Amino acid sequence: MTVGLTLTEKILSAHLVEGEMIRGSEIGIRIDQTLTQDATGTMAYLEFEAMGVDRVKTERSVAYIDHNTLQNGFMNMDDHRFIGSVAKKHGIYFSRPGNGICHQVHLERFGKPGKTLIGSDSHTPTGGGIGMIAIGAGGMDVAVAMGGGTYYITCPKVVKVNLTGKLSPWVAAKDVILQVLRIMSVKGGVGKVIEYCGEGVKTLSVPERATITNMGAELGATTSIFPSDEITREFLRAQGREEDFTELAPDADAVYDEVIDIDLSALKPSAACPHMPDNVKTVEEINADKKLKIDQVCIGSCTNSSLLDMMKVAYILEGKTVDPSVQLSIAPGSKQVLNMLAANGALSKMIDAGARILESACGPCIGMGQSPNSGGVSLRTFNRNFEGRSGTKDGQIYLVSPEVAAVSALTGYLTDPSEYLGDMPEFELPEKFTVNDNMIVPPAPVEEMDSVEVLRGPNIKPFPVSEPMAKDIDAGVSLKVEDNITTDHIMPAGAKILPLRSNIPEISKYCFAVCDESFHDRALEMGKSIIIGGANYGQGSSREHAALAPLYLGVKAVITKSFARIHMANLINAGIVPLTFADEADYDRICQGDEIRIENIAEQIANGNIIKATNVTKGFDFDTKADFSQRQKDMLYAGGLLNYTKQQG
């Protein structure tokens, strides 16, 4: 008897090149499209160059400039020019600064139902809104995929989120994903794909679906996906690319590993409270004792900057003035969105109300400006509210829908739009988006590629090279951290640090600075060391700098209660051994400064999944686990993905 397939299984099996579709085992898939952004892109293209491949082998690869657009010094523009020239040479489309946030633009102009996409950005799953298997990855994995290499993931479990009903007026797609986060938590999605099904799907437009799949990254999920249906077709038609449409749905008898029911009609405007995206409460709950006074509102980011979002915001702001105690900034997600807002008058309504209009880029979402005041309460339509990410260490960041953000900017308090606004008009997508791809530079034709000069500024330094695995690891613990450490803790971003993304020796000075400013000097002094972490270590951003900086600082192994998916892959790619405690109680028995010994590590890894270690300082042995595939083992022996790829020829 055959069983029905989930949509995830259908797309993955159509792209399967290695392994079997057995949940939990490693599979290799063919990648149709890739994307990079500038903050991770420089490294990805340096790695691509190191592989010695002339032209990308994918159907479509796009390099976006959207993160480091502040340019307070030569560094960012050096990177932009480097990426633009590498793209031109090697067959990659180049989306120039000003054209918009990678995920928004990719959805508008390139995403295709049924295709696979990997991107060097954790919010690549935005493409799931249009029925793609779109996965966030480290830059090195994206470089390999551009070169035609296989991308490896653990064959995921598939969770069905069964949507029924219809959102009430002024309740938004953001409230749907906040509810999923409330149910599943920031680690609930690890090893899983979240598939949205049910009657409620039909009530959600593509940009709304994309908001939901975008923030699936905060669940730790491999990706999230919606079916591709008539609504998808309409969106693609309005983008002038109906030919890219394919209808896709799971089989009626598809078997899921978990089912979550969400009645859209029952949802209420909500917010993720400081400092985690899963710390979700309804606006009503937050305001129960006292209305939350706010200082700042930021609208934009790859989660909520579509034309639909912006039209709602303009409607709410029309004819009003932003409360004198609040600063409001708005960054439309793409040139297309900004241009259409300008043409239809919505932009003027925003400006008139007192909004500060920012360029179409990540901006405040990655701490590039608009940091709130000390202890300030900032409502943001973004996807991450990790401590310090806004650029203000004690900033209190709440993640909300554009509707809640806009209304609250007017009242000065966290406000439920349904209480403040009257009936909601029908907001509809245009029948035709204004399409002008003049800020997307196509690559040079193959015959001209040799004449394209790659422009390298002084900020661009070679990436650190790792060594083959040593026989034993004898190293002290340079740092011990708690649960849910994000890659923003490991390798912070923001206006000051982001320009150093192409310069690992420099950026590593800030490694773990959020947790312990002395880490950099201590790790360098120790020469080699081990990091001890709690559960869900490395969640959040895909930045491989969170592995490359520790590599540069001599970190040989990281032992935790559990890892987030992308970061674990990045550690292995960098040749750093990720191990988990066999007995979590051992976490408490190890202190910073303890000497750890792991003998014959390669032999132990080869012989099974339990790796014995000794705490030499405290005098006890403990077991760690290493559930590596043969490919991962070989990468670790070789000292990372690049060495391994070279070995493979």
Active site residues: 66-67, 121, 384, 541, 543
Using only C-alpha atoms, the chain has a radius of gyration, in whole angstroms, of 24
Query: What is the 3-state secondary structure of 323-348?
Result: CCCCEEEECCCEHHHHHHHHHHCHHH
123 binds ligand SF4, rule: CB under 6 A: yes
Q: DSSP letter at 449?
A: G
215 binds ligand SF4, rule: CB under 6 A: no
35 binds ligand SF4, rule: CB under 6 A: no
105 binds ligand SF4, rule: CB under 6 A: no
68 binds ligand SF4, rule: CB under 6 A: no
The letter for the amino acid at 387 is E
For ligand SF4, the binding residues in 348-377 under the rule CB under 6 A are 362, 365-366
**What is the spatial distance between Cα 428 and Cα 451, in angstroms, rounded to a whole number?**
47
The letter for the amino acid at 466 is S
Nearer to ligand MIC by C-beta: 6 or 213?
A: 213
Among 32, 78, 121, 244, binds ligand SF4 (CB under 6 A): 121
For the sheet containing 192-197, what is the strand order? 223-225, 192-197, 157-164, 258-263
Closest to 9 (Cα-Cα) out of 200, 325, 188, 254: 254
**What is the spatial distance between Cα 499 and Cα 367, in angstroms, rounded to a whole number?**
12
User: Please, what is the angle between helix 102-109 and helix 335-344, to 10°?
Assistant: 80
271 phi/psi in degrees, rounded to 5: -150, 145
For ligand MIC, the binding residues in 255-314 under the rule CB under 6 A are none
**What is the spatial distance between Cα 126 and Cα 206, in angstroms, rounded to a whole number?**
10
Nearer to ligand MIC by C-beta: 90 or 543?
A: 543
Query: 307 — alpha (psi -120 to 50), left (phi > 0) or beta?
Result: alpha
Among 306, 383, 408, 643, binds ligand SF4 (CB under 6 A): 383
Beta carbon of residue 414, minimum distance to ligand MIC (angstroms, whole number): 23
Site map 405..424 versus ligand SF4, x via CB under 6 A: --------------------
Distance in Å from the first CA to the final CA of the chain: 43
What does 543 interact with, of ligand SF4, ligand MIC, none (CB < 5 to 8 A by kind)? ligand MIC
Among 76, 95, 542, 643, binds ligand MIC (CB under 6 A): 542
70 binds ligand SF4, rule: CB under 6 A: no
For ligand SF4, the binding residues in 275-314 under the rule CB under 6 A are 301-302
Residues in contact with ligand MIC, counted by CB under 6 A, come to a total of: 14
Beta carbon of residue 493, minimum distance to ligand SF4 (angstroms, whole number): 8
Nearby residues of 549 by Cβ (< 8 Å), 6 or more positions away: 490, 491, 504, 507, 508, 511
What does 60 interact with, of ligand MIC, ligand SF4, none (CB < 5 to 8 A by kind)? none
122 binds ligand MIC, rule: CB under 6 A: yes
Query: What is the 3-state secondary structure of 133-192?
Result: EEEECCHHHHHHHHCCCCEEEECCEEEEEEEECCCCCCCCHHHHHHHHHHHHCCCCCECE
Site map 16..55 versus ligand MIC, x via CB under 6 A: -----------------------xx---------------
Nearer to ligand SF4 by C-beta: 154 or 487?
A: 487
What does 301 interact with, of ligand MIC, ligand SF4, none (CB < 5 to 8 A by kind)? ligand SF4
564 binds ligand MIC, rule: CB under 6 A: no
**What is the spatial distance between Cα 15 and Cα 25, in angstroms, rounded to a whole number?**
16
**What is the spatial distance between Cα 367 and Cα 390, in angstroms, rounded to a whole number?**
5
For ligand MIC, the binding residues in 580-619 under the rule CB under 6 A are none
224 binds ligand MIC, rule: CB under 6 A: no
Sign of dihedral through CA atoms 448, 449, 451, 454? Answer: positive
Q: Which residues bind ligand MIC (CB under 6 A)?
A: 39-40, 67, 121-123, 136, 366, 384, 493, 540-543
Q: Which residues bind ligand SF4 (CB under 6 A)?
A: 67, 101, 121, 123, 301-302, 362, 365-366, 382-383
